Amino acid sequence: MHVVNVHGPNDVRLDVIVPPTLGDYDATVRIEACGICGTDLSFIRMGGLSWGSKPMPLGHEACGRVVAIGAKVENVQLGDHVIVNPMGSSAIIGNGGSEGAFTEELFVRDVGRTRSLLRAPPGLLSRYGALAEPLGVAMHGVNRSDAKPGEKAVVFGCGPIGLGAILWLRHFGVDDVVAIDVHQQRLQLARAMGATATVRADLEDVAARLIEVHGACDVMGRPAPGTNVYIDAAGAPNIVPDVVRMARSHARLVVIAAYTKSVELDLGTMLLSEMSICTSMGYPDELETVIGLLPSLTDKLDLMITHRFPFERMMEALSVAGTADAGKVMVEF
């Protein structure tokens, strides 16, 4: 069979491999859909992770059918429609481990003793099931923000994680959500996902526009937007310093985006506002909640999936995923 491997910086290939031998606690999942994540594109640019497998398999947003199980596996059965939980796998699927889900059949180690495979709701299409992982990332970020109904929120970055954050903010009763990006196509997607206002960060003064939309507060004589919650799903180096400079008293910033370089903070300004900053990684408790909600969200999920490619056009799918026109790019088998 085949697997997408990163061999070095910007060197990604579709390799032929021999499937591993199934152990007593292992399973094989015939993949039906797997989404391309921004992390996948980062791994390609970096040449994989320094500590990861060489070459490094890609793909972690996956859904499919169980086609083989080891003799001691009891928590899944042959034919089960399952969603892959990379954080529940001992193999760290698609994130530096020995397996990746951009393959016809995914070998999942130690299924019988982990929560690496979760059953999909009855009748759910696999392309929707493959969105559980990125939507779990987004839900954890929203949960970390402690956003409440009646508060005002801002989401930086309208890729799939930012779009998911907008979806969950609205789902949890936050009715005033501003989306910020530099691409008009993505801002249009944000509107469709529930954003009530948008800002083009490359064309507008973000702080002034947020004061216009969310009203003004006074922070020790400084006008500040009335925004309660900021979510950074973009990772641009100016975002965290800009939020610190403009935050109202007790505003909260959650950083979901992965930063590879240090960011300078003005702690004096931060002291005056008593704002807080926290980070968010993965979905330690959210994935099963997300999976249960997927059937009620299919209209929104259809909007998120802007491109669908067969596995045979995997390299083309990766190219499209790096463009501003792309929301979630889904690879189907």
Q: Please give the domain boundaries of the chain with CATH numbers for all domains.
A: 2-130+286-332 (3.90.180.10), 134-279 (3.40.50.720)
For residues 150-166, give the mean pLDDT: 97
Q: What percent of the chain has pLDDT over 90?
A: 96
Q: How confident is the model at residue 260 (pLDDT cuts 50, 70, 90)?
A: confident
pLDDT one-digit tens code per residue, 24-47: 999 999 999 999 999 999 999 999
Is-cis flag, bond preceding 310, omega within 30? no
Beta strands, E only, 131-228: 152-156, 176-181, 197-200, 216-219, 222-225
Q: Mean pLDDT across the chain, nearest whole number?
A: 96
Task: Name residues whose C-beta falls within 8 Å of residue 167's C-beta, 6 or more positions apart in sequence.
Answer: 135, 138, 193, 194, 297, 300
Report residue 223's pLDDT band, with 50, 70 and 90 as the boundaries.
very high
- Label residue 91 by pLDDT band (50, 70, 90): confident
pLDDT band of residue 123 (cuts 50, 70, 90) is: very high
Mean pLDDT of 187-207: 97
Q: Report residue 107's pLDDT band, with 50, 70 and 90 as the boundaries.
A: very high
Residue 123, CA atoms < 13 Å, CB-side half-sphere? 3
Q: Do 133 and 140 meet the contact criterion of CB atoms below 8 Å apart?
A: no
Token pair listed for 143: 């949960």
At 306 the pLDDT is 96
Q: What percent of the chain has pLDDT over 70?
A: 100
Under 8 Å between Cβ of 61 and 34: yes
DSSP conformation letters of 42-107: HHHHHTS-TTS-SSEEB--EEEEEEEEE-TT--SS-TT-EEEE-GGG-TT-TTBTSS--SSBSEEE
Q: What pLDDT shows up at residue 175? A: 96
Per-residue pLDDT tens digits for 264-297: 999 999 999 999 999 999 999 999 999 999 999 9
d(C-alpha 124, C-alpha 10), whole Å? 35
Decide if pLDDT at 199 tops 90: yes
311 pLDDT band, cuts 50/70/90, is very high
Q: Are 102 and 70 in contact (CB under 8 A)?
A: no
**C-alpha dist (Å) from residue 292 to 116, 121, 134, 274, 305:** 16, 7, 15, 37, 19
User: Which tokens in the block code for residue 207?
Assistant: 């702080």
Q: What is the pLDDT of residue 90?
A: 81
Residues forming a β-bridge with 5: 13, 57
* Confidence band for 89, pLDDT divided at 50, 70 and 90: confident
pLDDT category at 251 given cuts 50, 70, 90 is very high
Q: In the predicted model, is pLDDT for residue 325 greater than 90? A: no
